[in-house]
Amino acid sequence: MSRTSTTATTENPPVRRLSDWDAGRLRELADEHGTPLYVQDLERVRENYARMASAFPDADVRYAAKANTSRAVLRTLVAAGAGIECASAGEVERALAAGCPAERVQYTAVNPPGEDLDYAAETASERPELTITVGARDTIDRLEERGFDGRLCLRVNPGVGAGHHEKVQTGADAKFGVPYDRARKTLAEADERGFDVVGIHAHAGSGISGEALDSHRELVSRMGQLARESPVALEFVDVGGGFGVPYRPEEEPLDLESVARATREALGEVEATLAVEPGRYLVADAGVLLTRVNTVKPVADGRVVGIDAGMTHLARPAMYDAHHEMRSLAPDAEDRERVASTVAGPICESGDTFGTHALPIPERGDPLAIGNAGAYGYEMSNQYNSRPRPATVVVDGTNDAVDRRRETIADVTRLERRVPWV
């Protein structure tokens, strides 16, 4: 895969904290477009990509689109030189529609529904440069039945997993990939059956940092070993994504250069190109979710602060107990005393909370920003409680534009059909 060069600026800090965002601009966007509102900064996406590309200069960087599929984000990354790793037919469609050349698109099929394979096989017949990654022999059979004999990558279960929560550790989970000790045989068989076997793939999990990086290294070392023992010459060894980002102010960012060095060392000598699949790292700190205080209720040990964003807009706290920083955007926030505030959304579930934050005494109508919302934020939003999904705005230098309009209640009920007898 070719990559156009990106200009890494000297002003490219390894992390953008919530406090680094321009409060005045965010306040204006909240006033103009309403809340809840996702804001994604394309300039920061470019910076994150530039850092990744310079840490892994000879590797293919394939953006894991599942973190944020905004067309503007995809186009920005494609223009910077990234490939796109897709988790479904829908994501392949989005990657191609965003102008990603098929040779840089990789579809990772996880227990793929038949429709996804129909789509992938048909797309590959028109664009044979597309690569399909399979994690079971069964999937190879199903592709063959559909007439596909193109570029095939084998997902391996390396037996080591890592990640910020047990729900996102894939490496040792039997659901993902062909068992390591069967990989060689499966590669040889696929080759004999006429597929163009181009690579091997594994992914330890998501949100890896600190000591968990040992597991990442172990995974890479096993993949290097497999590449050397592969019965088929490989074009690439894809070691997945999972590069963690700091969600709390006291957490340090990853030292990407040393992660890259350790990855190279662990991989050892291989004839194939290294590929990585960062999702979160490229988009998380480039996005915030703007919301507004709608209810303030004093309680014994502080206050409950009701906001107009909930678990339907940002599911990570409810789903993984994830921490997201929160900042008041009230113009006089600095002058207010800080109080313990339990921030809760409008959904009828006790899990619909964003935790307790020391916020400048919140008042009804205050705009707030929720940090690190650029990855797995809008993507995991849903319409539970019949709540419309928010709008998303992209900013780029002094430009800004809505790239996904806010849903209305009419959108939420749009798919309903009348059942004739009730």
**Which chain residues interact with ligand LLP by CB under 6 A?**
64, 66-67, 85, 108, 168, 170, 203, 206-207, 240-243, 277-281, 316, 320, 376
Distances (CA, A) of 247 to 161, 280, 281, 285, 391: 21, 11, 12, 9, 23
> Nearest 5°: CA angle at 2, between 208 and 271?
70
Nearer to ligand LLP by Cβ, of 49 and 281: the residue is 281
86 annotated active-site: no
Nearer to ligand LLP by Cβ, of 42 and 86: the residue is 86
- Nearest distance from C-beta of residue 206 to ligand LLP, angstroms: 3
| C-alpha span between 395 and 76 (Å, rounded) | 12
Nearer to ligand LLP by Cβ, of 170 and 392: the residue is 170
| C-alpha span between 410 and 226 (Å, rounded) | 53
Nearer to ligand LLP by Cβ, of 108 and 341: the residue is 108
Q: Which of 103, 47, 44, 40 is nearest to 72 (CA)?
A: 40
Number of H helices, E strands in the chain: 12, 18
Nearer to ligand LLP by Cβ, of 244 and 306: the residue is 244
- Nearest distance from C-beta of residue 357 to ligand LLP, angstroms: 20
Residue number of the CB atom closest to ligand LLP: 279
- Nearest distance from C-beta of residue 165 to ligand LLP, angstroms: 7
Residues 349-379: b if buried by 16+ CB within 10 A, e if exposed? eeebbbebbebbbbeeebbbbbbbbbbbbbb
Is the separation of the CB atoms in 48 and 285 below 8 Å?
A: yes
Question: Which 3 state secondary structure label does DSSP give 56?
Answer: coil
- Nearest distance from C-beta of residue 87 to ligand LLP, angstroms: 7
Q: Which of 386, 354, 357 is nearest to 373 (CA)?
A: 354
- Nearest distance from C-beta of residue 407 to ligand LLP, angstroms: 21
* Helix locations, 295-391, DSSP H: 316-320
For 324, half-sphere exposure in the C-beta direction (CA atoms, 13 angstrom radius) is 31
Q: Which of 86, 100, 153, 348 is catalytic?
A: 348
Please list the active-site residues.
348
